[in-house]
Amino acid sequence: MATFDQELGRRLTAIREQGLYRELRCVDSAQGPRIEVAGRTLVNFSSNDYLGLANHPALKEAAIRAVEQYGAGSGSARLICGSLAPHHELEESLAAFKGTEAALSFSSGYATALGTITALLGKEDIIIVDKLVHACVVDAARLSGAKLRVFAHNDLDDLEQILKWANRRDELHESQIKGEKSGTRVTRPPGKKSRILVVTESIFSMDGDAAPLVEIVALKKKYGAWLMVDEAHATGLYGAKRRGLVEELGVAGQIEIQMGTLGKALGASGGYICGSRNLIDFLINRARSFIFSTAPVPAAAAAARAGIHIMQSSEGEKRRQTLWERVRQCRTGVAPVSDIFRNGDRRDACPTLSAIFPLIVGDESKAVALATQLRLEGFFVPAIRYPTVARGRARLRVTLTAAHSSDDVVRLTSALLQIVNRKS
Ligand SMILES: *Cc1c(COP(=O)(O)O)cnc(C)c1O
């Protein structure tokens, strides 16, 4: 026991020395634009509650009603006896909201990616992911055993090169089977082509920029690949029906697997896949994170469903408009230092606004010092470091929500400008 703790102590010291040590900060209030931390009220610019629904009366009411009717726990996995009505209602709402044949909910976004990708791919297959996809996609890819290839962030040429390679690899394999080439090991049963899955996010979680989805869809068609798009940071914010960026760009019907989370703009918790009836039935049968895990509590499902309801209402549209107003205001506020602040539409590839403003600092310890400085001034902004982003790419990640006031944003941008000017 003593040597075990000593060993971990040494590892923790190493983490500290690299400026990568993390600790939990207890929040003594509900989520919202203001949170209580260590006895102080801070303006919260760190949450993904983009529409301010996490503490919305309608979501709380739905959760309370679900507890009263269905209890606190869910009893078992969905396939045993935990498939409570609130889960089915949530999935009907999700499919209707997204305009897909069917939907399946998971206990988290992480579990969604893990279950879905490992169900769809095996070791004879190929998975191609954007360099900046969320850790859950990378972990799922590794667990699936498929060959993992990474394309440079939003780089269509790089993606196409890899797709070409994947197709060549398959053709080579076919010819090996036909005996046109000999002496190489046959790894797949004859005639079984390897599946190629491309995975990207629509709005990237730590950079706030958008993927060129129209072009990616064209490429996946050209090379016969499947496409999975994670809309964690886009659901509720883009498109006429607020379904996400795939709606706004008109490609929803061409994406095999639409993923998202229930814990960001939807204000609750969990993850989902939307797609064809066959996809959903297949996942129910094969997604291990779904099969072997207790169903989410009924309150979570009911709250998420209420979130979808609000999102589709005129109140949802009003909240979205408020969010974009704050985003524009923040962009104007940080314009004098826009070379340091990044926000989606500065990049030519895909001119899209997002609610995520990363201030790239680089050095890990410096990013932590800036976050501490901001906290002293009354703002809660997280320093994002490795392994969430690459080493040497540490940043402050500012996220705006519809619940922030115009004054909150003005005060934040002036504090940020001061910090940036002091820094340089
Ligand atoms: C948050 C997030 C997830 C994970 O969702 P959880 O519900 O928090 O597990 C997956 N993908 C992306 C892009 C995310 O930002």
Supply the CATH number for residue 324's domain: 3.90.1150.10
Task: State the average pLDDT over residues 319-330.
Answer: 95
Which amino acid residue places its CA nearest to atom 4 of ligand 1?
A: 109
* Residues 209 and 288 reside in one and the same domain: yes
CA 180 to ligand 1 centroid distance, Å: 46
**Final residue in a domain of this structure, among 289, 312, 335:** 312
Q: Is the pLDDT of residue 12 over 70?
A: yes
Inside any domain, residue 13 = no
Mean pLDDT of 189-210: 89
Q: Are residues 418 and 364 in the same domain?
A: yes
Whole-model pTM: value is 0.94
Same domain, 49 and 85: no
For the chain, how are helix, strand and coil distributed in percent, rounded to 5? 45, 15, 40
Distance from the alpha carbon of residue 263 to the mean position of ligand 1, in angstroms: 8
Rounded Cα distance, 17 and 364, in Å: 10
Beta strand 196-201 with 147-151: parallel, antiparallel or unpaired? unpaired
Q: What is the residue range of 136's domain?
A: 57-312
Q: 64: domain CATH number?
A: 3.40.640.10
Is residue 381 within 8 Å of 46, Cβ to Cβ?
yes
The pLDDT of 95-124, averaged and rounded, is 98
User: What is the pLDDT, as a whole number, of residue 411?
Assistant: 96
In a domain, 16, yes or no: no
- Residue 420 is predicted with a pLDDT of 80
Structural domains of the chain, count: 2
Order the strands of the 126-130 sheet from edge to edge. Answer: 102-106, 271-275, 257-261, 226-230, 196-201, 126-130, 147-151
Same domain, 228 and 341: no
Q: Which residue has the higher pLDDT, 176 or 221?
A: 221
Residue 203 predicted with pLDDT over 50: yes
Centroid of ligand 1 to alpha carbon of 76 (angstroms)? 24
Last residue of a domain, one of 279, 297, 312: 312
Same domain, 307 and 418: no
Ligand 1, atom nearest to 201 Cα: 13
How far, in Å, CA of 393 to CA of 404, rounded?
Answer: 27
Where does ligand 1 bind, in terms of residues with CB under 6 Å? 108-110, 134, 136, 201, 205, 230, 232-233, 261, 263, 271
Percentage of residues in the chain having pLDDT higher than 70: 92
263 domain-assigned:
yes
| Residues tagged active-site | 48, 134, 201, 205, 230, 233, 264
Is residue 19, in this structure, part of any structural domain at all? no
The reply to whether 119 and 182 lie within a common domain is yes
Report pLDDT digits (tens) over 208-233: 999 999 999 999 999 999 999 999 99
Domain boundary among the residues 261, 280, 312 is at 312
